[in-house]
Structure 1
């Protein structure tokens, strides 16, 4: 007979789910416990690294502070070596001697880069001070109540940090007795500002504070913590500080540090009001000064690292559990993996086609951009050529305007040459060789004058290159003046150049700068002629202005109205009658000056008229 099926009772059927539930509960508890252990281990390790960093930071900061203060420890003791200081303390009524000591202290204070140096007599009254010239000088102040003065008078070197009662400036005071033949005559005090170390603390990161023996914070990388206390002050201590006026008008309220956990004698975890999260506090005693330096490190990164380690542990545990479940259900996951592989292949195929499409599009865009860039470069090159031709055209226009004066300037020497040549021939025929030689010398001078004029015109008309160099400003102004000199004389215009400095150089091209100045001179003469000015003045001024050179052209014409000034440098804008100008001169001049790295501007002259300023970079 076949065996009978086992009978499953309700009691046996419910036993397996309870065991499975207990197993999962135990597994979950074990995972949480392991994560907690990992968290504490990671937190302790991170705190250990922070402590190492904090210890190194405290070593560096205390060493730098001690080094800063040690530079001044010897200074007060040197003043008893000065015979004038000894004589002043022995003869307090000698004002001339007091002045000599004041000047000496002022010089030493400047060389030592200290805040103040002053000498106090045995009554605590300041006899001489490095700030004797200032309205709030220490001279005459009674500082006998200061602890560093009392210590020095007792024969012990005084060292004291406090806030000044005269100016309210904090600093560290070094005090030593001034002796003569073993007898104390007074006290020499040097005040040094050590607030500069706070900037280095702030730049290095973290939060650093320095407290005195009473727990008063007087230096801190956090400004709001200064003149606060690490713990509430006892009434006796507060009374002592008020009597010595060490911190003057500051309230000395508690900072409110709350201890969370003690790690050892020099490290603990604290909570700071106004700071989110706990901080690691490490302290270092400066035994020689009776100070305490505290370095506070933010624990947020350490705890974040610990949380990350715990989370990673939980994830690893979850991964192990998932792997176990995966092993039990591998046959179903195999089918799912096959379907996923097929879906992934389809997605990969789609991605390849999408990438190919986007690549073709990008290549097309690259070709279009390359072609557009070529066209833009060609356009810019054509624009540069056009601008150069426009500048040359403007120069030729100026030469055209000057042609009448130039023709007259050449006709006079030519007529004189012909006459004097005929005279020379007659004088030679008559044997008057000396007179003929004088005529020939005059002819040579006239020819040289004509050569200078034609050479200057040829130099002005040539096309300038784009190379910039150091140019003597006075030479360029003289060359530009040469081209309009005839017109200035004909129109009875008073010309004045207020500088002839040969060492004034501008970074530009001399030929193009000459074109700008000729244009400005011609416009000034046109303006005075059209206005019918009775008194005509043309003034040129060249001067340094820092790293710039300013060339100013001022006329006594009618000036430039505000509505016209806004359009002066626009091409083809002109206020001259038809046929007198194309309106290109100022536009071309402004473009030339801008290419030099400068700018051209117009403004009203103080006494009436117009003023144009050419601002150029100065060259050595």
Structure 2
């Protein structure tokens, strides 16, 4: 028989394997020492870049809202001139110089009250008949502006809006144009010029930059003076010819910026490096994070450039810190290893049964104390979770109000404009002794004020914190309150609204404020999904049977994809474009309905998307 092989290796082989294992171990330690600083650099750089992106998106929204509010403030001025009989008479009798002087003085006063740059009236041939700057040397009176696009649009019956540099005084501004009619016949065009250059002073300071670009890529507003009237790319020959014909940027060379680098990112942003022509080719331009926000009605684009120098500097500091920390930990490991070996030598001399019993007893005491602390910690965590959920629900409502801010602002600006116009008309009517018309104007003003009070009251009620207790809530009332907040958007987006509900009131067991929050989230998502659809229809159906209340919200949008349906209620998942949603609306809504003891789900429908809320029915109290 063959002799049995020994279970252990010979001493020579065991001694030869130990250095191999040691080399492997220290090789892994070296790789970890190289990888850790690079991971720290990447993590800090990603975190700092994301913070810059979030801050830039917030500032872009503020800048866009500020610009839209400024432009909307002057939209009514050219329409108001149609109501003045002297303006209409001048267009019918252009040779009456006395009438022309009266209209000039009237336009001068209106311009001073409105705070605009210039207001002028143009006949059908494009010749300026009267202007608010008639006293100045560079007066517009007599100028031919027939080549301007805003005048051509107004003459075709389309109210015009146009940004351009003035050909008379070289002052840039935004032009509003609206036709002046009498008995359905156009007599001329009223034009208001507004200076929007003051916005640049409130834009980003320091290393960050912001610019406003038109459809052709021309930068006409920017916080960097050297970039003004530059282009993001070289202009095509036909585009340059069109700009020269319209004199939009009068006598500006419109040269292109020099991009040292342009790298698109996965999140929709870009990494740009714009070379400064005055610094020479040797100087490396700083890299900046570029974010965009479009202003769709005017075909403009906001671009916000965040300087990445500080983010890169923080990442380098993190790299050095990780490298030093790793070296320190390595020294601690070597010291611990040396002391461990010494302790093992001493442990064999003092390792007896009494010490083991003492250590075991102390360990059990610590475990008991740790378990007691863990129970307290978990109890506190549950309380914090409840508080955090309530704060998240409140934050969701604030986010919805933030997304609706532009629509709400427009909803309030329009009545304010009407109040001002009707107040001015009431003064004129009072002076003329037309008291019945004055009373009618005052009644209309009272109705408009009541309407504005209703809107602000609904906003205040929606924004208040909810009571966690469930009670019988009128579904009719909740739907009515939610509709008040989206009514203006339904009108602006030309959405057909269909409500199918029984005449008798239906009550559900829930919290009224949070139910309105869920309904508002679903209707807002439906309106967002129908943007650009030829047919826009929003449906709401309420039924009650077998102790359940069923509320269905449907739209005529593109519907849900398989991926969206699978991840519908995941936090931070959204199908909206960058900067238009956080992906928390449906997640918060599903949690709210679940707290009610109900369900929120998406169902199959023929067209668009359909969401169904099921709640427990309640009796009226």
TM, length-normalised to structure 1:
0.50
Structure with bigger gyration radius: 1
TM, length-normalised to structure 2:
0.50
